[in-house]
Amino acid sequence: MFMLNIAIVAGGDSGEYEISIKSARQVEMNLDRTRFVPYLIEIRKDKWIHRTGGDIIEIDSNKKVGKHNGYYFYTIGQRSGLKLSGGPWFVVSKDVHQNIIYISRENKSLREKNEFNAGKFNWISGSKPENEKFEVKIRHGAKKFLCEIRFNDSDLALVKMNEADQGIAPGQFAVFYDEDLCLGSGVIL
């Protein structure tokens, strides 16, 4: 009988580390050993990702309010895990070249957007659709927004939504629909 090797990757960088390892061990214990050969791989971010700290700046006052361990651990719209007093604080912008995280308490104009640029499209049909009006889902949210896509010559596009959404960030996926039919996706730039 053919045995399939399976890797169970677990780890983390905080209290979730212990929970992740316990969960992975439960999966490993419950695998059908007649069909699978499990390998538990434990990863700790602090040993695998080089951390380069930087400043956390309050965007309205341009005042330094703290330090971070690496901009790549933070996403636009993030509220938890900033470890700052006087909040709530939201990540509203990142300057990756200067390694700065910008935060705000209520700066919704920077958190909420109704348009974004997208690229690296993957269309299920193999080519971009002819129509320009669709619905779009962003991040893990359940809500779809009516949108219009304007392509330029270099396979990039401006996506304009009928209403604003908070937490739109570069690197997230936008998934496009024609009613309930998924047409494809693009990466927010």
For the chain, 189 residues long, give each residue's pLDDT as a single digit of tens: 566 777 776 665 555 555 566 777 777 777 777 777 776 666 665 555 555 788 999 998 999 999 988 877 787 778 878 889 888 888 888 887 788 999 988 765 556 789 999 999 999 988 888 888 999 998 767 789 999 999 987 789 999 999 988 778 787 889 999 998 999 999 988
Q: Residue 76 class from Cβ within 10 Å (0-12 exposed, 13-18 middle, 19+ buried)?
A: buried
At the second CATH level, the architecture of 54-106 is Roll (2.30)
Task: Supply 40's token pair.
Answer: 């538990």
Measure the CA–CA gap between 174 and 189, rounded to whole angstroms: 10
The answer to whether 68 and 75 are in contact (CB under 8 A) is no
Backbone torsions φ then ψ of 85, nearest 5 degrees: -85, 170
- In the chain, ranges of CATH 2.30.30.280 domains: 54-106
Which residues 6+ apart lie within 8 Å of 93 measured at CB? Answer: 59, 76, 101, 102, 110
CATH topology classification for 4-48: Rossmann fold (3.40.50)
- In the chain, ranges of CATH 3.40.50.20 domains: 4-48
DSSP class of 129: -
* Global model pTM greater than 0.85: no
Backbone torsions φ then ψ of 40, nearest 5 degrees: -90, 120
CATH topology classification for 112-188: Elongation Factor Tu (Ef-tu); domain 3 (2.40.30)
